[in-house]
Amino acid sequence: MRISVFSHLTCVAIFEPGFSIDIEQVNTRSIAVYPNPTTGRLTLDADDVRSVEVIDMMGRIVYTARETNQLDLGPLPRGAYLLRITLPDDVCVTKINKQ
């Protein structure tokens, strides 16, 4: 399984167990996550989303969803979170802000 790290909306790094990565190997795959910042509703523009986890800055999983491209983060407190998106062959992580 690969783990991709995002900066804004673009994948900037991929990590695979047992392999090193050079800057030339960086994947430019893009998954749109909007609106960001959000007041509650969040849309993922990606095909075949297996699961989504929202992680607070303490590392706690505070929200999970399966096989959906729409999230309702309304109940979460304001702040910064990590969004971990699991696809069939990739795990992408990006930062979101909840207002």
pLDDT for residue 29 is more than 60: no
> Is the whole model's pTM more than 0.85, yes or no?
no
Q: In which band, very low, low, confident or very high, does the pLDDT at 90 lie, cut at 50, 70 and 90?
A: confident
Give Cα 36 distance to the centre of its chain: 12
Return the CATH class of domain 3-98. Answer: mainly beta
SS3 state of residue 58: coil
Angle made by CA atoms 23, 27, 32, in degrees to the nearest 5: 135
Q: For the purposes of burial, counting CB atoms within 10 Å of the CB of 77, is it exposed (0-12), middle (13-18) or buried (19 or more)?
A: exposed
pLDDT per position as a tens digit, 36-54: 999 999 999 988 899 999 9
